Amino acid sequence: MPTFTQHAVGTFCWPECATTDAQGSKRFYSDLLGWTWKESPMGPDGIYYIALLDGRSVGAMFQLDEGMKKMAVPPNWGSYVTVTNVDESIAKAKSLGGELMMGPQDVNDLGRMAVLRDPIGATINLWQPGTMHGADMLHEPGSLGWTQLNATDPAKAKPFYTGLFGWKAEDMQSPGDGSTYTTWKVGSEGAGGMMPMPPGTGAPSHWLVYWSVADTNAAHKKAESLGAKTFVPPTDVPGMVRFTVMQDPQGVIFALMTPLV
């Protein structure tokens, strides 16, 4: 697979973990996915840990500070989408019912970012590349495989994201429970997905990061041995992927996936 040197506008480019215990999280994902780490100072706010696999960046991690905890920011994997102009995207998001949560701000010469809340409560991050384009590696074991919105109100989310990023929404009936699964497309390529929040979960709308692995069953067993909890056991989407949804020891929800084709 190629090393990415840029990401198309409207595609997910960078996963970022906010955790309550950076050292514990680093150990967990290193053991599970084979990552090593490069430290980048964040000034008085701490250290930004860049995850590497075979020397290529796959995402990052930082520890929630006291200010974030007071704002009730939960431990989570955040997802950045590449945009041409962060400020213009913020204005567009507001016109579509979104809310600016953080930024816009420049990250040295690396790029410009902002954090939004969509009309159903999920947060999504914007990235306008400078010298840093995002992840060097996608769709290979140990790197980002898919990003999915678990939505409490898919009908309300759809016009927001199609309007904000220009995504096309392609719906299909799930072979399992018959619910509608939406694939977000940039041109002919799938950029991510959306599904209705599973009934009875009581969870707020959120974007879920899927990590590609060579064998979902083996990775699931390894994650459990490292202290992760299972929300969805290894399950097949016929003809597409085998996946599992889990929670790491620091409380962050994530998923693992292996293509079946």
Res. 66: pLDDT tops 80: no
- Residue 224 exposure: Cα atoms within 13 Å on the Cβ side: 12
Rounded CA-CA distance 211/243 in Å is 9
205: tokens are 């709308």
Between residues 238 and 17, which one has the greater pLDDT?
17
- Residues 19-43, mean pLDDT to the nearest whole number: 95
Cβ–Cβ < 8 Å for 21, 92: no
pTM of the predicted model, to two decimals?
0.95
Q: Residue 219: helix, strand or coil by DSSP?
A: helix
- Write down the mean pLDDT value for the chain: 94
Res. 106: pLDDT tops 80: yes
Amino acid at 132: M
60: tokens are 């990052």
- Residues 38-56, mean pLDDT to the nearest whole number: 90
Res. 125: pLDDT tops 80: yes
Per-residue pLDDT reduced to its tens digit, 78-89: 999 999 999 999
Mean pLDDT lowest among 41-45, 71-75, 127-131: 41-45
Cβ–Cβ < 8 Å for 143, 53: yes
Q: Residue 92: helix, strand or coil by DSSP?
A: helix
Residue 198 has a pLDDT of 83
Rounded CA-CA distance 204/212 in Å is 24
Rounded CA-CA distance 82/15 in Å is 12
